[in-house]
């Protein structure tokens, strides 16, 4: 068994991995997602497994190379200009190096004694990023957690416990006069918020849907009317959830007005900025989040627009004591009875994770080595590229653009001749066509795009996450969409 831990073997294995990754990163060809039949992939994976079960098998370098090659080849090509489908980012390569070190040294970061530098780095990054949020120094708190869904759930838990202090221990809303706990959200809110309502015992029936304007942002005036109607129905909205870069179209809700509205009604404002909070680091784009300093909590995914490996989510609270309200438990085996300067940095009592990866290290290292400009420059370039793609779409008579992009997400539909007149039958056919186009483009393997339903009808959706993606690549995508639509409609006519 000792040879498994041999340092020289470690070096050789690392060199194998670096060689495969270097080739992967050097490939700038336009490619999307090559889907492999799961049964075929399973057979390929099983063929790489040892058949030795009685003793530790001899190391086989070719087997390792095969495993790593299969792993790299069967994933989304996030570093390719053709990958436009999701909010997954090709990482800054140095961030991958840091993650490699983190995996080997294995320092769970929920407690300072287990991961000293990650906990200090977390505090440093909190201070660095708060310069763009604007909360008073010494009063706010930032924690890392594994993904935006978990961050949203944790923030809603803190908000619920603040509004209903007995809920944690006794369940239910407490006194009869408190009203039924409710959350108010925009129509385009991320599904994790609806899921959180179920997890928290609030129930989807107590989710108040706030109307959107033409830009698919929450409309504050109509939202006030909706909140008043909810109160008359016996609901107590304890939290309003706003989006800063909605998943569907990348819309930024008016945070300034919504914060005032929420606080007038005694509610907490949580901002789901998983995608768009990163715009704060850009002087040119920061105004999209005007009013963020009035929010009570903020979710910020660094693994999206800060280009580090997933997961790396930052959960901010405007008031530090609010971070202590999410969980109310004692566990003698992890929580110290007598706090000291070391345990003051522990986060295990404020996050779901008892064991947590030191996810801050990749972000802090990039920030330390390259500074803010690395992130600001790339984000601004992605937003410029998306704005140019929007202009290209406006020139295409057979495409319908659905919104002016606020960041790097753009949704549109292909409307070939014969589908230009709106009507129920045409809308159904238009919906089916967009879904079929997306699937055909994905199967072709040159581009990877996604789809989203907008007002009940499917739309094609691109997310520009790669600074190598140009307007020419986008024009190539439109050509492929047209070709796919022509094939789909020709086949459909032939089957009638």
What confidence tens digit (pLDDT) does each residue in 23-60 have?
999 998 999 888 899 999 999 999 999 999 899 999 99
> Same domain for 394 and 422?
yes
Q: What is the pLDDT of residue 228?
A: 95
Indicate whether 84 belongs to any domain.
no
Q: What is the pLDDT of residue 352?
A: 80
Which is nearest to 418 in space by CA: 398, 400, 392, 441? 398
> Same domain for 340 and 278?
yes
> Same domain for 363 and 442?
no
Q: What is the pLDDT of residue 171?
A: 78
Total domains in the chain come to 3
> Same domain for 362 and 390?
no
- pLDDT, greater one: 387 or 111: 387
Averaged pLDDT, 422-426 = 65
Check pLDDT > 60 for residue 337: no
> Same domain for 190 and 327?
yes
Helix (H) or strand (E) holding 207: strand 207-210
- Pair of tokens at residue 453: 């339903």
Q: Predicted confidence band at 334 (pLDDT cuts at 50, 70, 90)?
A: very low
What CATH number is associated with residue 405?
3.90.1150.170
Of 16, 51, 75, the one marking the end of a domain is: 75
Q: What is the mean pLDDT of the chain?
A: 91
Q: What is the pLDDT of residue 103?
A: 95
Indicate whether 99 belongs to any domain.
no
Q: Predicted confidence band at 422 (pLDDT cuts at 50, 70, 90)?
A: low
Averaged pLDDT, 345-355 = 79
Check pLDDT > 70 for residue 322: yes
- pLDDT, greater one: 165 or 423: 165
Q: Kindly state the DSSP code that residue 244 receives in the 8-state scheme.
A: B
Which is nearest to 89 in space by CA: 278, 249, 273? 278
218-274, pLDDT tens digit by residue? 999 999 999 999 999 999 999 999 999 999 999 999 999 999 999 999 999 999 999
429-462, pLDDT tens digit by residue? 999 999 999 999 999 989 999 999 999 999 999 9
Q: What is the pLDDT of residue 38?
A: 95
> Same domain for 222 and 274?
yes
Check pLDDT > 80 for residue 188: yes
Q: What is the pLDDT of residue 335?
A: 47
Say if residues 481 and 416 touch (Cβ distance below 8 Å). no
Tell me, rounded to whole angstroms, the distance of Cα 89 from its chain centroid.
Answer: 10
> Same domain for 69 and 118?
no
Phi, psi angle pair for 183, to nearest 5°: -120, 140
> Same domain for 112 and 243?
yes
- pLDDT, greater one: 348 or 192: 192
Global pTM reads: 0.93
- The DSSP secondary structure of 219-241, one letter per residue, reads -HHHHHHHHHHHHHTTEEEEEEE
372-397, pLDDT tens digit by residue? 999 999 999 999 999 999 999 999 99
Q: Predicted confidence band at 194 (pLDDT cuts at 50, 70, 90)?
A: confident
Indicate whether 262 belongs to any domain.
yes
CA dist 104 to 98, 357, 477, Å?
10, 12, 41
Indicate whether 70 belongs to any domain.
yes
Of 322, 346, 370, the one marking the end of a domain is: 370
Cα Rg, the chain, nearest whole Å: 25
Give residues with Cβ within 8 angstroms of 257, minimum separation 6: 220, 291
Indicate whether 80 belongs to any domain.
no
> Same domain for 324 and 404?
no
Check pLDDT > 50 for residue 192: yes
Unique residue bearing structure tokens 């800060």: 306
Question: For residue 53, what are the domain limits?
Answer: 2-30+34-75
Indicate whether 95 belongs to any domain.
no
3-state DSSP call for residue 425?
A: helix
What CATH number is associated with residue 191?
3.40.640.10
Tell me what percent of the residues of the chain surpass a pLDDT of 90.
74
Indicate whether 478 belongs to any domain.
yes
Q: Predicted confidence band at 333 (pLDDT cuts at 50, 70, 90)?
A: very low
145-176, pLDDT tens digit by residue? 999 999 999 999 999 999 998 887 777 765 55
Give the Cα separation of 245 and 253 in Å (integer). Answer: 8
Indicate whether 167 belongs to any domain.
yes
User: In degrees to the nearest 10, what's the CA dihedral of 314, 317, 320, 323?
Assistant: -70
> Same domain for 218 and 294?
yes
Q: Kindly state the DSSP code that residue 313 receives in the 8-state scheme.
A: E
Edge to edge, the sheet with strand 313-317 lists 141-145, 313-317, 297-301, 268-272, 235-243, 180-186, 207-210
> Same domain for 124 and 218?
yes
235-243 and 268-272 as β-strands: parallel, antiparallel, unpaired?
parallel
> Same domain for 157 and 261?
yes
Of 354, 370, 386, the one marking the end of a domain is: 370
């Amino acid at each position: 068994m000792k040879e498994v831990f041999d340092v020289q073997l470690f070096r050789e294995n690392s060199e194998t991995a670096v060689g495969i990754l270097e080739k992967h990163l050097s490939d700038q060809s336009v490619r999307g997602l090559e889907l492999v039949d799961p049964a075929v992939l399973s057979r390929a994976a099983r063929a790489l497994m040892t058949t030795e079960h009685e003793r530790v098998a001899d190391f086989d370098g070719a087997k390792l190379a095969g495993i790593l090659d299969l792993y790299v080849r069967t994933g989304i090509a996030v570093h390719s200009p053709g990958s436009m489908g999701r909010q997954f980012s090709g990482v800054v390569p140095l961030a991958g190096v840091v993650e490699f070190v983190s995996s080997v040294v294995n320092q769970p970061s929920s407690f300072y004694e287990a991961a000293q530098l990650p906990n200090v780095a977390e505090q440093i990054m909190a201070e660095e990023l708060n310069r763009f949020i604007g909360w008073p120094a010494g009063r706010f708190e930032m924690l890392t957690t594994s993904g935006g869904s978990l961050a949203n759930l944790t923030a809603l838990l803190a908000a619920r416990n603040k509004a209903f202090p007995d809920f944690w221990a006794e369940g239910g809303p407490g006194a009869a006069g408190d009203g039924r706990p409710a959350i108010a959200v925009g129509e385009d809110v991320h599904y994790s918020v609806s899921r959180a309502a179920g997890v928290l015992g609030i129930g989807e029936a107590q989710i108040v849907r706030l109307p959107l304007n033409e830009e698919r942002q929450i409309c504050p005036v109509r939202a006030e009317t909706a909140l008043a109607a909810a109160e008359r129905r016996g609901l107590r909205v304890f939290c309003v959830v706003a989006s800063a870069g909605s998943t569907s179209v990348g819309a930024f809700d008016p945070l300034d007005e919504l914060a005032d509205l929420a606080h007038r009604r005694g509610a907490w404002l949580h901002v789901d900025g998983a995608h768009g909070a990163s715009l704060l680091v850009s002087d040119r784009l920061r105004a999209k989040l005007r009013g963020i300093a009035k929010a009570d909590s903020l979710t910020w995914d660094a693994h999206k627009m800060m280009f580090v490996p997933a997961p790396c989510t930052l959960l901010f609270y405007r008031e530090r004591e609010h971070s202590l309200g999410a969980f109310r438990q004692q566990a003698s085996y992890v929580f110290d009875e007598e706090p000291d300067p070391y345990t003051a940095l522990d986060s295990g009592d404020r996050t779901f994770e008892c064991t947590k990866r030191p996810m801050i290290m990749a972000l802090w290292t990039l920030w330390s080595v390259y500074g803010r400009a690395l992130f600001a420059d790339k984000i601004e370039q992605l937003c410029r590229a998306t704005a140019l793609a929007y202009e290209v779409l406006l020139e295409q008579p057979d495409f319908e653009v659905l919104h002016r992009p606020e960041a790097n997400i753009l949704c549109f539909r292909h409307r070939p001749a014969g589908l230009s007149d709106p009507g129920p039958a045409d809308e159904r056919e238009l919906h089916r066509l967009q879904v079929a186009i997306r699937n055909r483009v994905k199967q072709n393997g040159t581009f990877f795009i996604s789809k989203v339903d907008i007002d009940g009808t499917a739309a094609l959706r691109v997310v520009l996450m790669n600074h190598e993606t140009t307007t020419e690549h986008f024009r190539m995508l439109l050509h492929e969409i047209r070709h796919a639509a022509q094939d789909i409609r020709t086949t459909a006519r032939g089957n009638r």
